[in-house]
Amino acid sequence: MIRRFGITERALHWVHATGFFAMLATGLVLYLPALSEIVARRNLVKNVHLFSALVWAIAIVLVVVLGDRRRLRDDWREIETIDGDDRRWLRGRKAPQGRFNAGQKLNALVTSAFALLFVVSGFFLWLGERDHRFLFDGTGTVHEFLTLGSVGLLVGHLYLAVIHPSTRHALRGITVGDVREDWAREHHAKWVEAERRGL
Ligand code: HEM
Ligand code: HEM
């Protein structure tokens, strides 16, 4: 076995996922008329949505501040570097991949950008209700567009994480922390090579 994710990385993933699911469920109740009618307590749902957002944001900051920041910094550096092998991989060619493959890097970059945009658009939705000078026409549309985009990403992410036979072993990494070395070598050859050389 080979260590893939430490406690901090797993905590960050699951805190983010839990908050996301809570906000998605409550957001959809606010958004879809069919659901709003079944759960007729709009104000309560809205408060749960906002409370989840607050708890989620605080929990993310706590994980980053109290956790292994060096490891998170290394992850981020890897994620924001798209090299020649990544570009070949994205064009559908075979190319050795690092700790995250090019698709995962894009997923992480888009997920982070969306999280920031959710915070900004959600904050203005909240503020706009209280002070009409901050009520902008497109804010709700941005928030809805982000929801649709995230659900699209999530469907692909869950398919690869729990259903697709060749990739679902990754689930072990994000829950228990380690994965089989032969699996890692097949999917993330450059990472295993670097670990072996002690980098
Ligand atoms: C910091 C994060 C967030 C904040 C502060 C926030 C805040 C808000 C606010 C104030 C509303 C307006 C409720 C209303 O007046 O009807 C809203 C609606 C909504 N939110 Fe969020 N939200 C956040 C994150 C999210 C996330 C992560 C999702 C989905 C995954 C989401 C999905 C929705 C949806 C679908 C609606 C209904 C939009 C509509 O009725 O037009 N929100 N949010
Ligand atoms: C039950 C739900 C979920 C499961 C089973 C799951 C599973 C996984 C797994 C197995 C990995 C590690 C892949 C690897 O070995 O590198 C991962 C990474 C990741 N997950 Fe999730 N995840 C879930 C929910 C979410 C949600 C809701 C989000 C964001 C809204 C998310 C965003 C990410 C990101 C950005 C990564 C790192 C990049 C990548 O691997 O694509 N996950 N997840």
User: Domain locations in the chain?
Assistant: 2-196
What are the tokens at 157?
């992410």
Average pLDDT of the segment spanning 3-25: 98
Average pLDDT over residues 170-193: 98
CA distance 35 to 31: 8
Residues with CB under 6 A from ligand 1: 20, 23-24, 27-28, 30-31, 46, 49-50, 53, 57, 118-119, 122-123, 125-126, 140, 143-144, 147, 150
Confidence class for position 199, pLDDT limits 50, 70, 90: low
Residue 36 pLDDT: 84
Q: Which two tokens mark 172?
A: 């072990």
pLDDT of amino acid 133? 95
What's the average model confidence in pLDDT over 106-122? 98
Q: What is the CATH number of domain 2-196?
A: 1.20.950.20
- Percent of residues, the chain, with pLDDT higher than 90: 94
User: What was the pLDDT predicted at 198?
Assistant: 82
Give the pLDDT confidence of 168-179 residue by residue, as tens digits: 999 999 999 999
Structure tokens at 105: 């890097």
pLDDT score of 30 more than 70 = yes
Number of Cβ atoms within 10 Å of the Cβ of 193: 13
pTM given for the model: 0.95
Protein residue with its CA nearest to atom 11 in ligand 2: 174
Instruction: Fill in the DSSP letter of residue 117.
Output: H
Residue nearest to atom 15 of ligand 2 (CA): 170
Tell me the C-alpha distance between 192 and 88, whole Å.
20
Indicate if the pLDDT at residue 40 is higher than 90: no
Query: Strand (E) positions, 88-181?
Result: 178-179
**188's tokens:** 């993330």
pLDDT tens profile 116-168: 999 999 999 999 999 999 999 999 999 999 999 999 999 999 999 999 999 99
